[in-house]
């Protein structure tokens, strides 16, 4: 894939609209092209900035001018129109207060909702990655049931290789792993299978994970927060909630590696 093709596909990839095969080809290009990686990071930063920029509204300049003009009116005119001016100034003051209160309320609401927006976008990215994997020929980059093979495979490909454990004896068999992009972040994904259900475990950077909720559902799939050897993780699967929670508890019970 060349840079022109990658540039055309960037918005589709960012919105999770590419099929798994094209996504993997796009990601392989990102691994080798710093310019396209920067473009992805810039797009992700723009989205974050648009969500976090607090809107502020001031009173119109025309209203301010009218208030100042009224305040500077000659004494004679004020005497003749005292009651009219009083009513008008009271109304103008209420407008100013309404603008100020509205701006403050909107600012506080926006700040409070920014974290929720971040979490919602992260959840969408995680679901999209899982669904792309299901649509692919293979959802796994390194196919192995051996945890001592899977963990070293991540070394050098992501900032920190995740802890890897096999729970085949408990009914959750390790199938392998892959690297995926969540937003503009490269994240390790561990892949497990429980019966006919595929399970993705996304091991997240600390900043991305700080705003995630514990449980989210979408189109019959469940996303649940977990810890994996001291690292923050999110599990995505269409398993029954009871079985998913049992798997989460197995992950969270693992002791952090030294």
**How far apart, in whole angstroms, are the C-alpha atoms of residue 161 and residue 256?**
13
- What lies within 8 Å, CB to CB, of 153 at 6+ separation is 141, 142, 144, 177
Low-confidence stretches of the chain (pLDDT beneath 50): 53-56, 78-80, 96, 99-100, 104-106, 108-112, 209-211
pLDDT tens, position by position, 45-88: 666 555 554 444 556 677 667 777 776 666 555 444 555 555 65
- How many Å from the N-terminal Cα to the C-terminal Cα in the chain? 40
Q: What pLDDT is recorded for position 213?
A: 55
Q: What pLDDT is recorded for position 198?
A: 93
| Domain boundaries defined on the chain | 118-253
pLDDT tens, position by position, 130-144: 888 887 777 888 999
Give the dihedral sign, CA 169/170/176/179: negative
Scanning the chain, the segments in alpha helix (DSSP H) are 3-14, 20-32, 34-52, 61-71, 75-80, 82-135, 147-154, 206-209, 241-252
Q: How many CB atoms lie within 10 A of CB 77?
A: 11
């Amino acid at each position: 894939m060349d840079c022109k093709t990658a540039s055309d596909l960037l918005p589709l990839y960012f919105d999770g609209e590419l099929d798994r095969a094209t996504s993997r080809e796009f990601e392989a290009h990102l691994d080798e092209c710093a310019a396209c990686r920067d473009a992805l990071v810039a797009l992700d930063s723009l989205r974050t900035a648009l969500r976090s920029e607090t809107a502020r509204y001031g009173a119109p300049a025309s209203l301010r001018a009218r208030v100042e003009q009224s305040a500077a009116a000659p004494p004679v005119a004020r005497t003749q129109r005292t009651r009219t001016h009083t009513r008008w100034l009271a109304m103008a003051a209420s407008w100013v207060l309404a603008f100020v209160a509205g701006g403050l309320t909107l600012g506080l609401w926006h700040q409070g909702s920014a974290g929720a927006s971040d979490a919602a976008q992260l959840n969408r990215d995680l679901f999209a990655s899982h669904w792309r994997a299901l649509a692919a020929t293979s959802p796994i980059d390194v196919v192995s049931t051996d945890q001592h093979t899977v963990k070293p495979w991540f070394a050098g490909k992501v900032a920190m290789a995740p802890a890897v454990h096999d729970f085949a004896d408990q009914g959750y068999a390790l199938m392998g792993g892959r690297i995926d992009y969540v937003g503009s972040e490269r994240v390790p994904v561990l892949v497990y299978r429980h019966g006919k259900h595929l399970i993705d475990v996304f091991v997240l950077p600390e900043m991305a994970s700080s705003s995630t909720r514990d449980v989210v559902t979408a189109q019959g799939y469940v996303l649940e927060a977990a810890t994996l050897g001291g690292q923050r993780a999110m599990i995505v699967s269409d398993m029954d909630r009871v079985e998913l929670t049992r798997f989460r508890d197995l992950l969270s019970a693992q002791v952090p590696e030294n």
